[in-house]
Amino acid sequence: MNTDPRQSLIHASRQFHQLGWMAGTAGNLSAKIADNSFWITASGKQKGKLVAEDFVRISLTGEVLENPSPQNKPSAETSIHQAIYSLFPEANACYHVHSVEAKLVSNFIDHEQLPLPPIEMLKGLGIWEENPKVYMPVFENYLEVPRIAEAIVQRFKTTIPDVPALLIRNHGVTVWASSPEAAENHVELAEYIFRYIVAARQAGLKFHH
Ligand SMILES: CSC[C@@H](O)[C@@H](O)C(=O)COP(=O)(O)O
Ligand SMILES: [Zn+2]
């Protein structure tokens, strides 16, 4: 596991900003270190120009352990990262971005599961089946972020998601993975799938299970 993952997080954030998935201050990224604490983006930082001081180190129970710029606060969505790390001990990185397509696709359904198209790219999210019928979990976007985190814990306690990703309606995707590099890959794959779903709808193509 990475000793200090902040350079990986800075690199990913710059990439996502350039792709329009972390416009302005949108989104937040975190990664764990060996002692099970995690570095997370401080709240309200411009995601195209992060530096190492723009991160806060947090314990799994939410205490601030290290804060290079003490006026900084951890991401407003830290409770979602905590929920993911508590549910999935193998997760070492958790990335959340805000693309236009993620918001669009979350409106194509009015229930809790987004059907995913049976495309090859799903292999990158761990689905090795022919014509898979899998879904991405969708959660409501409550104003109070801990409510979203609680809904995630409650649902995933009993239902393991098909893919290591979830969508918050009208908000964005959150992915998790065993390393920052794998989490970057998962974001790119999830966003590719969202673009495909938007394009398929425009083309009148139906793949619903
Ligand atoms: C553009 S504001 C978006 C925020 O409300 C939130 O959803 C977000 O992703 C970033 O919050 P942050 O507190 O900077 O981690
Ligand atoms: Zn967000």
Structural domain span for residue 133: 6-202
How many of the other CB atoms lie within 10 Å of CB of 70?
8
- One-letter amino acid for residue 145 of the chain: V
Considering only CA atoms, which of 85, 81, 94, 93 is closest in space to residue 1? 93
C-beta of 76 in contact with ligand 1 (< 6 A): yes
Report which bound ligand comes closest to the CA of 174. 2
pTM of structure:
0.97
Does 83 reside within a domain? yes
Does 109 reside within a domain? yes
CB 98 within 8 A of CB 27: yes
Give residue 1's pLDDT.
61
Does 89 reside within a domain? yes
Mean pLDDT of 58-73: 97
Residue nearest atom 5 of ligand 1, based on CA coordinates:
26
Does 1 reside within a domain? no
Tell me if ipTM is over 0.90: yes
Cross-sheet strand order for the sheet of 28-32: 64-66, 55-58, 38-41, 28-32, 93-97, 172-177, 165-168, 135-139, 113-115
For the chain, what is the domain count? 1
